[in-house]
Amino acid sequence: MNSSLAADQTTALVYGHSAEALHIICLIIFVFCGVKALFHKDLKKILIYSLVGLVVDVRSLLTIDSPFAFAAFLFHVFNFFVCIGMMYMAARALEKAVGSNSLDDMRGAGRVVPRIGIPLAAGLFAMMGLPPFATFFSKLVMVSAFIDAGGYVSPTLLAAGELLYFLVFIRVIKIVFLDRYKGSPLQDREWKNVAPLYGLLVFSVIGGLIPQIAVKPFLPLAGLMGAPGYGIPPLTISWPLPVLWLMAGAAAVYYFGRTSNKKAGLLSSLVCLSAMPTLLLSSAGVYGLSFAVLILFMATLQFFYSVSYMEHSHHQYRFYTCFLIMISGLLGVSLSQDIYSTFFFWEIMSGWIMYLALAHEEDAFSVQEATKYFIFNYLGAAFLVVGILIMYDVTGHWDYGKMAENFQYTERMAFAVLLLTIGFIMKAAQLPFRIDYWMHPKPAPTPISGYISSTVLKSGPFMMVKIFFIASLGATATTFLPLDLIKHVSGWIGALTIIMAASFAMLTNSMKRLLIFHTVSQLGYVIVGCSLMTSMGLAGGLLHFVNHMFFKNLLFLCAGAVFISTGTDKMDQLGGLGRKMPLTFICFMIGVLSISGVPLFSGFISKWIIYHAVMDTGYIGIAILSLFGSVLTLASFVKFMHSAFLGQMQDRVREAREASWYMLVPMSILAGLSVLLGIFPGMALMPINSMLVDFNLQPLQITISSVTDGVDSINMLFMLAALSLGMGVAGLLYFLTRTKTRKTHVFVCGVDDLTPEDSHVSSVNCYEDAKKIIKGAVKLMKKTIGLKGDYVER
């Protein structure tokens, strides 16, 4: 008896061990093939290594002997082989066309022979598991199979492992597609012998868009093997109408926009404008709807601006299409009702479409920077995948409402909420140790970098608030300690980011890099506000969310206008632009005043609410850091304003002309909004109040222009009256003295042979002492934490 008992134990032991051993072996092979593929020169060898690695990876799925895992295995393998076949055949065709199989000869060949290139690119993107292809769902199902098996360490490892293969494929895409082709002319293949490739491509895309049909055949198969009935999670995606409208618009722009940039730009801005009425039909709550309205409003301005910005660029229609699809992804994130389709649209928003839009200039620098940002986004998505699937596994529902109802407080759920918070905070680029990875790339065209900074990054805090709301709603019974801890820690991360990003902004010398740093620091404010989850805190955070959207986009558009008219992004080559571009200067000044929180401008009121909220909850440290942040912001913008717009006129600026009215109209609209929201914050606070009611926090007592918090209140109209009365008195003093005015030289002790270059204090020689201290802190950080540090100058 005991021998059989022993036998069982041994078999269990052996079986247990062998499963364990198998798992480890798979992991080793997986990593080995990945590294080999990463550094190999020959295209076919790279594909073979990655094939072996991923198959082994899928094999480890079988170590879990649940029918769900087996169904996931079958579904994944099927999709996997569809893509591998397509990619492999396309690669062989390309090698035959180019004549050699080493990667360097194929540099840029993909674009020269598009008929072979498209299936190859599609295969590569599919292998990465990005949305429009079926492998996106099969990977999702694979990870959920692991999670279903109980562990949550191995799925995270798996998701991180995917990053290794992502690097392999992105390297191939970068070389084959985004480079200049210098070789001899290639001969493209006719349609008929390329047709099977396109058949596979269409099959994979259909599987990606309508996953429930693709999954249906595999469910009974799983039933054959073990206990039937336990199926793969419902993969139905709900497509909101505005998203479809925008996608259709993107196709229209791609088709009609080829002729002229003006037509393409105006068409795409019309598409966004016309998408607004379709919002009325969608059933999203006021929170999602108001974000959607803002997205579309900003998009119309952005496209109207880029009509004249992209004038001397190339392939504008391709840029507009990718931009529109990215916006449709963002719209999907804001409107979708369940977390699953939110993640689907999230992947569309920060997937390869954004990569193509960011690398639009196609010079080496912009491709390299865009790749870095794409890698960072993919890593963020890995966190989200695991978090979402754990939440589904615990609550059993995708839909937000149902998820909140049967939300149980288990430590796995705490881990899921933590992962999701990390993913969303990473999207908002907090604690930027390597700004070129954390944030959207500098050399990308200004319309898209302005739009990402002001609107796309907001999806991070937007979703974070939703998750916090669900967690806090669900865990009413027991005080969900980890949630308070997560909220407190994310508050501290926000506060530290404010100081860190603003002090790095002091060091940098390029306009766009400075604005990027300030986006991160202002997002720190939003996260500090939102992570308090009190009514004041959330209201402050969301108001800053809206204000920041307007004044940050305004500043980016001004920087773009300056870039177009002077041709340089370096601040120290500019000087005295205020005279040549007065309107741009006025808009820029309004942006600076609102971002540094000067009263009467929009930045002030939201910061006021955030400070009160933080002080009410008693976090003194966060309050001090965030208050200090606004002075840092003002100091770095003084540097920007002085060295670019004021001071002596440099010769590069002599022939600068005022921006065209295509640029000026959006800028002045945003400037007007910044001032309007500064004086009448009620306009934005009314919808925010209704959101607070949705999040069942009690709304603020506000009027159109004042906010009251307990005993003290702030009334912006009163401030406007007081300040303008004071300025009126000063004006009266001016008016009393009708003395003559006379133009004279600037006083430099009478010396008259100084050239403007010598006498202009540019951004390089501003604040040496503050820079010394910040550089010292960065060196200290490198020594202690060992990170490569601020990466500021490029």
Partner 1 sequence: MLSRYAVKSPWLFRINTGSCNGCDVELATTALIPRYDVERLGCKYTGSPKHADIVLVTGPITARSESYLIRMLDEIPEPRVVVAIGICPISGGVYRDSYSIRGPLDKFVEVDVNVSGCPIRPQSILDGVAQAIGIWKEKIKIFHKA
Partner 2 sequence: MITLSASILAYLFFPGGMFAIIFGLLLLGMERIAVARFQGRIGPPIFQNLFDVIKLRTKEFLVPEDATNRLMFIIAPFFGFGGMMTAIFILPVSGVYDGAGASSDLVVLIYLMALPAVSHIFGGSSSGSTYAAIAVSREAILMFAYEITFVIVLFTVALQAGAGDGALFSLKGIVDYQVRNGSFVHDLKMIPAFVAFVIFMLATLEVPPFHIAENDGDVMKGYYMEYSGMPLAVFELTHALKLLVLITVLQIFFMPGLAGGSIVVNLLWYMMKSAAIVIGIALVHASMPSFRVDQAFKFLMIVPVFLALLSLGLVLFL
Binding residues (CB under 8 A) for partner 1: these are 740, 742, 744-745, 747, 749-752
Taking the complex as a whole, the smallest distance from the CB of residue 553 to partner 2 amounts, in Å, to 23
Taking the complex as a whole, the smallest distance from the CB of residue 750 to partner 1 amounts, in Å, to 3
Decide which of partner 1, partner 2, none touches 759; Cβ closer than 5 to 8 Å per partner kind.
partner 2
Question: Are the beta carbons of 383 and 419 closer than 8 angstroms?
Answer: yes
Phi, psi of 709 (to 5 degrees): -130, 100
Taking the complex as a whole, the smallest distance from the CB of residue 709 to partner 2 amounts, in Å, to 8
- Choose between 39 and 735: whose C-beta lies nearer to partner 2: 735
- Choose between 225 and 638: whose C-beta lies nearer to partner 2: 638
Continuous H helices in 432-534:
435-438, 446-454, 459-474, 481-507, 511-530
Taking the complex as a whole, the smallest distance from the CB of residue 756 to partner 1 amounts, in Å, to 17
- Choose between 749 and 785: whose C-beta lies nearer to partner 1: 749
For partner 2, the binding residue among 224, 281, 620, 785 (CB under 8 A) is: 620
Taking the complex as a whole, the smallest distance from the CB of residue 371 to partner 1 amounts, in Å, to 54
Taking the complex as a whole, the smallest distance from the CB of residue 745 to partner 1 amounts, in Å, to 6
Residue 608 in contact with partner 2, rule: CB under 8 A: yes
Residue 598 in contact with partner 2, rule: CB under 8 A: yes
Residue with tokens 């079986």: 15
Decide which of partner 2, partner 1, none touches 725; Cβ closer than 5 to 8 Å per partner kind.
partner 2
Question: Are the beta carbons of 595 and 522 closer than 8 angstroms?
Answer: yes
Cα separation, 402 vs 625, in Å, equals: 39
- Choose between 196 and 582: whose C-beta lies nearer to partner 2: 582
Decide which of partner 2, partner 1, none touches 52; Cβ closer than 5 to 8 Å per partner kind.
none
- Choose between 229 and 750: whose C-beta lies nearer to partner 1: 750
The residues with which 702 forms a beta bridge, in sequence order, are 707
Taking the complex as a whole, the smallest distance from the CB of residue 775 to partner 2 amounts, in Å, to 13
Cα separation, 88 vs 92, in Å, equals: 6
Residue 642 in contact with partner 2, rule: CB under 8 A: yes
3 state SS of 257? coil
The residues with which 42 forms a beta bridge, in sequence order, are 102
Interface size with partner 2, residues (CB under 8 A): 79
Taking the complex as a whole, the smallest distance from the CB of residue 744 to partner 1 amounts, in Å, to 5
Decide which of partner 2, partner 1, none touches 773; Cβ closer than 5 to 8 Å per partner kind.
partner 2
- Choose between 193 and 708: whose C-beta lies nearer to partner 2: 708
Decide which of partner 1, partner 2, none touches 750; Cβ closer than 5 to 8 Å per partner kind.
partner 1
- Choose between 109 and 632: whose C-beta lies nearer to partner 2: 632
For Cα atoms 490, 496, 502, give the angle at the middle one, nearest 5 degrees.
Answer: 130
Cα separation, 106 vs 116, in Å, equals: 12
Taking the complex as a whole, the smallest distance from the CB of residue 637 to partner 2 amounts, in Å, to 10
Decide which of partner 1, partner 2, none touches 752; Cβ closer than 5 to 8 Å per partner kind.
partner 1
Residue 704 in contact with partner 2, rule: CB under 8 A: no
Taking the complex as a whole, the smallest distance from the CB of residue 758 to partner 1 amounts, in Å, to 17
Cα separation, 505 vs 790, in Å, equals: 10
- Choose between 4 and 741: whose C-beta lies nearer to partner 1: 741
Decide which of partner 1, partner 2, none touches 751; Cβ closer than 5 to 8 Å per partner kind.
partner 1
3 state SS of 12? helix
Residue 770 in contact with partner 2, rule: CB under 8 A: yes
Can you spell out the DSSP letters for 409-452?
A: --HHHHHHHHHHHHHHHHHTT-S-SSHHHHS--TTS-HHHHHHH
Taking the complex as a whole, the smallest distance from the CB of residue 737 to partner 1 amounts, in Å, to 10
- Choose between 182 and 743: whose C-beta lies nearer to partner 1: 743
Residue 777 in contact with partner 2, rule: CB under 8 A: no
Question: Are the beta carbons of 6 and 136 closer than 8 angstroms?
Answer: no
Binders of partner 2 among residues 567 to 586 (CB under 8 A) are: 576-579, 582, 585
Can you spell out the DSSP letters for 588-611?
A: HHHHHHHHTT-TTSHHHHHHHHHH
- Choose between 112 and 671: whose C-beta lies nearer to partner 2: 671
Taking the complex as a whole, the smallest distance from the CB of residue 759 to partner 1 amounts, in Å, to 14
In total, the chain counts a number of residues equal to: 794
* Angle between helix 481-507 and helix 411-427 axes, rounded to 10 deg: 20
Cα separation, 38 vs 165, in Å, equals: 8
Residue 631 in contact with partner 2, rule: CB under 8 A: yes
Q: Which among 26, 91, 101 is positioned nearest to 56, based on CA atoms?
A: 26
Could you tell me the two tokens for 146? 């692991």
Cα separation, 494 vs 544, in Å, equals: 13
- Choose between 190 and 752: whose C-beta lies nearer to partner 1: 752
Q: Which amino acid is at 534?
A: T
Q: For residue 66, what is the DSSP state?
A: -
- Choose between 184 and 744: whose C-beta lies nearer to partner 1: 744
Decide which of partner 1, partner 2, none touches 373; Cβ closer than 5 to 8 Å per partner kind.
none
Binders of partner 2 among residues 644 to 673 (CB under 8 A) are: 645-649
362: left (phi over 0), alpha (psi -120 to 50) or beta: left
Cα separation, 233 vs 257, in Å, equals: 40
Could you tell me the two tokens for 459? 């999806």
Question: Are the beta carbons of 69 and 61 closer than 8 angstroms?
Answer: yes
Binders of partner 2 among residues 707 to 766 (CB under 8 A) are: 708, 711-715, 718-719, 722-727, 729-731, 733-734, 736-737, 739-748, 754, 759-761, 765-766
Taking the complex as a whole, the smallest distance from the CB of residue 738 to partner 1 amounts, in Å, to 10
Residue 693 in contact with partner 2, rule: CB under 8 A: no
- Choose between 753 and 768: whose C-beta lies nearer to partner 1: 753
Question: Are the beta carbons of 306 and 662 closer than 8 angstroms?
Answer: no
Task: Output the furthest CA–CA distance in the chain (Å, rounded).
Answer: 116
Taking CA atoms, 12 is separated from 3, 19, 20, 225, in Å, by 13, 10, 12, 20
Taking the complex as a whole, the smallest distance from the CB of residue 680 to partner 2 amounts, in Å, to 16
Please choose, out of 258-266, 337-345, 640-648, 689-697, the segment that lies near partner 2 by the rule CB under 8 A.
640-648
Taking CA atoms, 331 is separated from 245, 293, 325, in Å, by 11, 9, 10
Residue 702 in contact with partner 2, rule: CB under 8 A: no
Residue 627 in contact with partner 2, rule: CB under 8 A: yes
Residue 63 in contact with partner 2, rule: CB under 8 A: no
3 state SS of 189? coil
Cα separation, 435 vs 115, in Å, equals: 37
- Choose between 244 and 589: whose C-beta lies nearer to partner 2: 589
- Choose between 221 and 748: whose C-beta lies nearer to partner 1: 748
Q: Which amino acid is at 319?
A: F
Decide which of partner 2, partner 1, none touches 734; Cβ closer than 5 to 8 Å per partner kind.
partner 2
Residue 335 in contact with partner 2, rule: CB under 8 A: no
Q: For residue 647, what is the DSSP state?
A: S
- Choose between 192 and 740: whose C-beta lies nearer to partner 1: 740
Cα separation, 214 vs 220, in Å, equals: 13
Taking the complex as a whole, the smallest distance from the CB of residue 567 to partner 1 amounts, in Å, to 34
Decide which of partner 1, partner 2, none touches 768; Cβ closer than 5 to 8 Å per partner kind.
partner 2
Cα separation, 35 vs 237, in Å, equals: 35
Could you tell me the two tokens for 189? 């293949």
Could you tell me the two tokens for 502? 């603003």
Burial class from Cβ neighbours inside 10 Å (0-12, 13-18, 19+) for residue 525 reads buried
Decide which of partner 2, partner 1, none touches 119; Cβ closer than 5 to 8 Å per partner kind.
none
* 706, containing H or E segment: strand 706-709
Decide which of partner 2, partner 1, none touches 418; Cβ closer than 5 to 8 Å per partner kind.
none
